[in-house]
Amino acid sequence: MNWLVVFEPDTLALYGEGLLVTLQLTLYSLGLGAVLALACALALVGSNAWLRWPAQAFTYFMRGTPLLIQVYLIYYGVAQLEWVQARWDDVWPWTNFKEPFFCALLSFSLNTAAYTAETLAGSAGETSKGEVEAARAMGMGQWMLMRRIVLPSAIRRMLPAYGNEVVMMLHSSSLASTVPALLDLTGAASRVYADFFLPFEAYLFAAAIYLCITFALIGASKLLERRFLGYLAPRKH
């Protein structure tokens, strides 16, 4: 093994560039996905069938197909349509589809939104009926009930599952390396391998970086769980 090549300034700069893209993709997709998931979860638990059915179809499709296929459908499918390419330069939002970063971000955001929406909807369904009846007895309407009672408790209960989703989103971001002209952490490792023919060193170094970030995310998730779910822990006498 030749680890000296990996720690050369140019190689480290390449990994740093890939790490920045990976973190941006992960954080941006989680943020956009959370907003979409909230709207989708409200539709899933709502009584309006015209909103619930499209939300169910969306979550079934996104959870039932591989993320790699979704990336290909957006980058090699939608972005390459002649109708879309004709509007790349002057019609928003189609101007964004000429950017590989946007195509990857859109596919990741839609994917994590589907999983998060199902998790949030399931957690909302576990709200105590006593809490709901008490809120309605106080005169709360459906929207106020969701905003003050159901959603706050549902978000707290879904923290362990969402922590896993965040880690999975970080790992799934490695699929961005399949998009040309987009250099993420895995793409940087592939370039080092291609330039120096060092498969073990290149990918082991990338794996170590992923592992460090994963440990940091798990630690942050545990802190949030202790902060917001501490009341569920067994009491010590």
Measured in residues, the chain has a length of 237
pTM beyond 0.85, yes or no: yes
Output the average pLDDT for the chain.
Answer: 88
Each residue's pLDDT tens digit, 3-15? 788 888 999 999 9
Q: Spell out the domains of the chain, with CATH numbers in brackets.
A: 3-229 (1.10.3720.10)
Residue 162 vs residues 91, 103, 120: alpha-carbon distances, Å: 36, 24, 9
* pLDDT computed for residue 233 by the predictor: 57
Strand (E) positions, the chain? Answer: none
Tell me the per-residue pLDDT of 98-152, one tens digit each, with 9 for 90 and over: 889 999 999 999 999 999 999 999 888 887 788 778 878 887 777 888 888 888 8
Q: How far apart are CA 152 and CA 155, in angstroms?
A: 5
